[in-house]
Amino acid sequence: MKRYLFVLTLSVCLLAVLCPAFAQAPKKIPADKQRALLWKPDKGQYYFSHALVFDYQNKADKSTGTIKIHLDPLTGAMCFVKETSFGQGGRSFDFVIGFPDGKYIFCGNDEDGKKIRINEVVKEFKPDVDTRKQQDDDFKTYVVPTQNKREEFGLTSTEYDLTYATSGTQEKIWLTKTPFSVYPLYGLEFVESAVSLPVSFDYMNLLPSDLLVSDINSKDVVLKLKSFGKDPYTANAKGYALLKVND
């Protein structure tokens, strides 16, 4: 009996030391009290309790600044506001709301100053089996974890060696495990001629939906997650008339 208990204890210790993959997933972020009052999608109103804030430097156009992305942790919906994220790029949109299922709502003004709303769906959010397998294989091949980890804003970040398949060049990148999908951020790259962030987040074809690029310093861009926490924001699409566009 004593030998059995010793073996069992030793096995548990070895699993704890040698198998970090068994670590618990990030805890889901609970809704705050305001969400029940302000989250009303059926009326065109969306409430975001948290925000991701990045510092960036775009070496190509020599620009620097911050990017704020509003978040509803329960659904993973994200809101991009002109003044704090995409600026004057693209059409004259006031804000964009993205959802983990690939749906986007663009609210802004047309050429005559009329408030319009455009709904888009990014099909890449739901790849077929072969595409998904290729993504998994590419991730295992080109994104290799180092031994470095750190805790930031209540989330765990891991350093990786990222190798670019075309050039073979390699750089360090930090990915943060999230309890929500980050694909609304990555998927914005697939909506052509709409809005564009000051730096590219084109990682959907490589990274799973729960890994956020939080720190990178490459020859083209410097990006660092500066903060993540409560920062309430309400977006109201009710006053924008739906404009149907041809596929």
43-64: pLDDT as tens digits? 999 999 999 999 999 998 899 9
Q: Is residue 84 part of a domain?
A: yes
Q: Is residue 7 part of a domain?
A: no
Task: Supply 244's token pair.
Answer: 């149907």
pLDDT at position 89 is 56
CA dihedral sign, ordered 80, 85, 26, 229: negative
Q: Is residue 142 part of a domain?
A: yes
DSSP-assigned beta bridge partners for residue 103: 121
Asked whether residue 156 carries a pLDDT value surpassing 50, the answer given is yes
Q: Is residue 217 part of a domain?
A: yes
**188-209 residue pLDDT tens:** 988 865 788 999 999 998 999 9
- CA–CA gap between residue 187 and residue 183 (Å, rounded): 5
Q: Is residue 238 part of a domain?
A: yes
Asked whether residue 182 carries a pLDDT value surpassing 60, the answer given is yes
> To which H or E segment does residue 21 belong?
none
Average pLDDT of the chain, as a whole number: 86
pLDDT at position 228 is 97
Q: Is residue 206 part of a domain?
A: yes
What is the band of 143 on the pLDDT scale with cuts at 50, 70, 90? Answer: very high
Q: What is the pTM of this model?
A: 0.85
Residue 80 lies in domain: 47-242
DSSP state of 167: T
Asked whether residue 29 carries a pLDDT value surpassing 50, the answer given is yes
Are 85 and 93 in contact, with CB atoms under 8 Å apart?
A: no
The edge-to-edge listing of strands for the beta sheet with 103-109 is 143-152, 155-163, 170-177, 211-217, 221-236, 45-58, 63-72, 77-81, 93-98, 103-109, 115-121, 241-242
pLDDT at position 19 is 39
Asked whether residue 12 carries a pLDDT value surpassing 60, the answer given is no
pLDDT at position 166 is 72
With a CB cutoff of 8 Å and minimum separation 6, the contacts of 218 are 171
Q: Is residue 197 part of a domain?
A: yes
Are 100 and 125 in contact, with CB atoms under 8 Å apart?
A: yes
Q: Is residue 105 part of a domain?
A: yes
Give the number of domains in the chain: 1
Asked whether residue 165 carries a pLDDT value surpassing 80, the answer given is no
Asked whether residue 179 carries a pLDDT value surpassing 60, the answer given is yes
Asked whether residue 238 carries a pLDDT value surpassing 80, the answer given is yes
